[in-house]
Amino acid sequence: MRVLKFGGTSVADGAAIRRVAAIVADERHAGGDQGGPVVVVSALGGVTDRLLQIGALAQCGDAGPALEQVADLEARHRQTLGELAAGETARIARDALEEGFARVRAIVGAVAVLHEASPRTVDALAASGELLSGRIVTAALAEAGLSAQWVDPRQLVCTDDQFTAATPLMDETCRQAAWCVRPLLEQGRVVVTGGFVGATGRGVTTTLGRGGSDYSAALLGAALSADEIQIWTDVDGMLTADPRVVGEARLVPFLSFAEAAELAYFGAKVLHPRTIQPAAAQNIPVRILNTFRPGAAGTRIADGPGVAPAAVTALACKRGITVITITSTRMLMAFGYLRRVFEVFERYRTPVDVVSTSEVSVSVTIDDRRHLEPIVAALSGFAEVGVADERALVAVVGDRFGEDPATFARVVRALEGIPLRLVSQADARRNVTLVLDERDLSRAMTRLHAECFGHPAHAPARVHA
């Protein structure tokens, strides 16, 4: 049994959802007697952003403009459903949409009255996107002759109560997913659920953070011991760099779990950063595939080794990075100083990506600036603190990166003339991470890409053994 996840662009409109139905039908027929697949869907393209904008608008206190936007969203969902299903199938989905939008309107009204949208309320609103799209996709699959069954993701993914970035509770999720989904698969059904969404043990709606549908698919794949987790999106697979930054980026046919996790962590948006962990823990291969070119091979992510000896597999980058430099003469030879520094980041639940230390200073990068002010205030209690924003981070990733010392020299040479603010390479040496000014990112990535992949001899001609 496989888990197939379709992202926002893959379910953006009627034509896209018809493609999804064809892919699921092929998978269903290939699967023979066993049930499935399990289909995990994102909100229709752009809907999560719109829902968050609606919440922000309502917070100003006037529900009118927010409700106008809700009406637009409702019209789009109804129109998409109308293009895909008719009769009884459409009626069931239409009723679900009506109920869903009544709920959205109720939340908007409450936010406007209170002038407040807590993270818990934001999650209730943002989760609506997947709860609505899921009903449309279920109808489209039924219309295509498949025995499709919608399952509310809040019955499957159990999380803690860190609203807007909840952490799944794996034991509970495994139990719930097995209990709800297995009987349906045994009956030969195709199971459809929404990604991104979960619920606390007490049934309060949560989300797994932006882009979290990939993570949902991996969690369900692990919970149900799937044979493969497929991430269907709008590009051919993991590319050698973000195609919006480097036009010449090309496909990486195979990645180890560790490489994929590094790339996702350092900004390769095609995978949510936490997707690989549940898959790797159970050694379930992940495939990234293009909904708009279903015949293409995609990227296979599995346990290494079995790869050709290219030093660099791919590049990743992230904009909007802030560097915090903490300087104190007390650091000199002091025990426990770094603990004190990192406790501050822990207290404000702000992950640190890159760390670099010198004798009296430590520089760290963060990309979540929400708690920057109290973090700086707390650090200023025992050190001098400098903050530099508009930085970007570049990661050069490859399992064999550390095997050839010349690779690091090539990376640095390629960036000649571009100021490097931070450089970090761990002893495990699967990557080197560089921090530079945001305005230099594009030319840095172009030059690095040409250096690492520009010549056929360096192309990542990786084939899984």
- What are the E-state strand segments in 399-451? 420-424, 431-437
- 6 touches ligand ASP by CB under 6 A: no
Q: Which is nearer to ligand ADP, 269 or 371 (CB)?
A: 269
Please state, in angstroms and rounded to a whole number, the distance separating the CA atoms of residues 306 and 304.
6
- Whether 196 contacts 43, CB under 8 Å: yes
Q: Are strands 431-437 and 384-397 parallel, antiparallel or unpaired?
A: antiparallel
H-only helix segments in 151-256:
170-186, 213-223
Q: What is the DSSP letter of 415?
A: T
Mention every residue, 6+ apart, whose C-beta is less than 8 A from residue 416: none
Can residue 210 be called a binding residue for ligand ASP (CB under 6 A)?
A: yes
Helix or strand or coil: residue 314?
Answer: strand
Among 74, 242, 399, 440, which residue sits at the site for ligand ADP (rule: CB under 6 A)?
242
Residue 234 in the binding site for ligand ADP (CB under 6 A): yes
Contact region for ligand ASP (CB under 6 A) — 29-37, 95-103, 148-156, 210-218? 210-218
Q: Are 217 and 3 in contact (CB under 8 A)?
A: yes
Q: Which does 159 bind (CB under 5 to 8 A by kind): ligand ADP, ligand ASP, Mg ion, none?
A: none
Are 256 and 308 a contacting pair, CB within 8 Å? no
Give the count of beta carbons closer than 10 Å to the beta carbon of residue 58. 29
Fill in the per-residue mask, 43 to 62: x = in contact with ligand ASP (CB under 6 A), - = not in contact. x----x--------------
Q: How far is the CB of 226 from Mg ion (least distance, A)?
A: 19
Under rule CB under 6 A, residue 7 binds ligand ADP: yes
What tokens were used for 172?
């509970």
268 binds, among ligand ASP, ligand ADP, Mg ion, none (CB under 5 to 8 A by kind): ligand ADP
Min separation Cβ 268 and ligand ADP, Å: 4
Shortest Å distance, C-beta 65 to Mg ion: 28
Residue nearest to ligand ADP (CB): 7
Enumerate residues 217-276 that contact Mg ion by CB under 5 A.
Answer: none
The length of the chain in residues reads 465
* Cα–Cα distance measured from residue 241 to residue 369, given in angstroms and rounded to the nearest whole number: 25
- Using rule CB under 5 A, residue 211 touches Mg ion: yes
Query: Which residue is listed with tokens 């991996």?
Result: 218
Helix (H, G, I), strand (E, B) or coil at 384: strand
Contact predicate 179/172, CB 8 Å:
no
Q: Residue 276 binds which one of Mg ion, ligand ASP, ligand ADP, none, with CB within 5 to 8 A depending on kind?
A: none
Binding partner at 142 among ligand ADP, ligand ASP, Mg ion, none, C-beta below 5 to 8 Å by kind: none
Residue 289 C-beta: closest distance to ligand ADP, Å:
10
Residues forming the site for ligand ADP (CB under 6 A):
7-10, 42, 211, 233-235, 238-239, 241-244, 268-270, 314
Residues forming the site for Mg ion (CB under 5 A):
7, 211
Residues forming the site for ligand ASP (CB under 6 A):
7-8, 42-43, 48, 129, 195-196, 210-213
